[in-house]
């Protein structure tokens, strides 16, 4: 018996947050706030990693 497919809304949220971090990076770089720009890059990498990890889990469990 296959499990019911899970909601993919979490992927939309992660995508939105990733775009938000890219915009924030651009603003911080334009304003020469390099520490905050670097922080947004690290957060962006974390969000991307979480998304790929979650997608792998969804695929392995047949939730996609």
Q: Taking residues 10-32, what's their average pLDDT?
A: 97
Kindly tell me if the per-residue pLDDT of 14 is higher than 60: yes
pTM of the model: 0.84
Per-residue pLDDT tens over the stretch 50-60: 999 999 999 99
- Supply the Cα-derived Rg of the chain in whole angstroms: 15
Comparing 63 with 17, which gets the higher pLDDT?
17
Q: How far apart are CA 32 and CA 14, in angstroms?
A: 26
Q: How much is the pLDDT for 59? A: 92
């Amino acid at each position: 018996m296959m499990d019911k497919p899970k909601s993919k809304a979490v992927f939309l949220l992660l995508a939105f947050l990733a775009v938000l971090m890219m915009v924030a990076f651009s603003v911080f770089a334009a304003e020469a706030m390099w520490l905050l720009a670097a922080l947004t890059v690290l957060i962006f990498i974390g969000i991307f990693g979480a998304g790929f990890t979650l997608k792998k889990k969804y695929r392995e469990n047949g939730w996609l």
